[in-house]
Amino acid sequence: MKSVVLEQLSKTYFDPYRGSQVTAVRDLSLTIDEGDFVAVVGPSGCGKTTVLNMIAGFVPKTSGRILLSGTEVKGPGPDRGVVFQSFALFPWKTVRQNVAFGPKMRGVGKAERNRIADEYLAMAGLSHAADRYPSELSGGMQQRVGVVRALANNPDVLLMDEPFASVDAQTRMTLQEELTRIWEERRPTVVFITHDVAEAVFLANKVVVLAQGRLLAEVEVPLERPRSWDRLVQDETFKELSNRVLQLVRSA
């Protein structure tokens, strides 16, 4: 597992058509410990995706540093698994081939990587869909494949950008519970972006609130685990924390 440290991280986009600059992230410093689960919330356009893309190595930073267990990030790599909001499954690969893609790139033999894929698909309740193509799946199923594909590659850090935004409320709750369970088992470092304050508090050890590219607040979530919605809906601490984060987001 790896820690993620952001030091005075900034990102300015240049718009060549308007000739103007947009600063999406300014002077952001944040420490995420090894095996920690951090949720990032904030109003639309506050720079959440930009931060995640910089950690993933997809987008170059303007200034500052991003350290993965002390080593500076140079580009994308398999130590950081990414779950995309829009799934980003390979349409020409079956569900099993999608999940086996990471192991395949590591040079794992066919029988072994299919075994790995089947194991993860079983965990996500997708065994019956293994031979189907992504376009033949419902949105919620595709989303689960996206999560499982990142997990099957055993990343040290899991970067998730609003991964449950496009599934229905029930499925979302199940996925959230599954995710906490998997995290407790494996303890990867997780950076989880969401709009949904309750989701952030439910999942994370720490909720980070961003506003206009700056760090507004860090809220610790001392709720015990394992967490389940059945219990937490009535939990006073959960309600109080959710309210506090909500106020912060609204003030942003």
Partner 1 sequence: MTALQAFWGYYVRWSAKWPGAAALLSFLPLILLWAFIVWLEIFPRVFLPGPLEVLGKAWELLYKGILLDYLGDSVVRLSVGAAAGMALAIPLGILIGLNKRAYEVSWPVLLFFQAIGDIAWLPILLIWFGFGLTTMTFVIVYTVLFPVVLNTVLGIRSVKPELVRAAQSLGASRPRILFEVILPGALPNIITGLRNGLGYGWRALIAAEIIVGTSGIGFLMFDARRAGSVEEIVVGMIVLGLLWYIVDSWILAPVERATGQRWGLVTS
Ligand X SMILES: Nc1ncnc2c1ncn2[C@@H]1O[C@H](COP(=O)(O)OP(=O)(O)OP(=O)(O)O)[C@@H](O)[C@H]1O
List the interface residues with partner 1, window 97-116 (CB under 8 A): 101-102, 105-106
d(CA 238, CA 227): 11
List the interface residues with ligand X, window 129-168 (CB under 6 A): none
Environment class of 16 (CB within 10 Å of its CB; exposed 0-12, middle 13-18, buried 19+): exposed
Exposure b/e, 76-88, CB count within 10 A at least 16 = b: eeebbbbbbbebe
CB of 193 to partner 1, least distance (A): 15
d(CA 210, CA 108): 40
Report the SS3 class of residue 57.
coil
Closer Cβ to partner 1, 35 or 77, answer by number: 77
Residues 6+ apart with CB under 8 A from 21: 12, 13, 14, 15
The residues of the shown chain that bind Mg ion, judged by CB under 5 A, are 49
Query: Which listed option, partner 1, ligand X, Mg ion, none, makes contact with residue 70 (CB within 5 to 8 Å by class)?
Result: none
How many positions of this chain bind ligand X (CB under 6 A)?
12
How many positions of this chain bind partner 1 (CB under 8 A)?
28
List the interface residues with ligand X, window 22-51 (CB under 6 A): 22, 24, 42, 44-50
* Positions in the binding site for partner 1 (CB under 8 A): 56-58, 75-78, 80-82, 84, 86, 88-92, 101-102, 105-106, 133-136, 149-150, 153
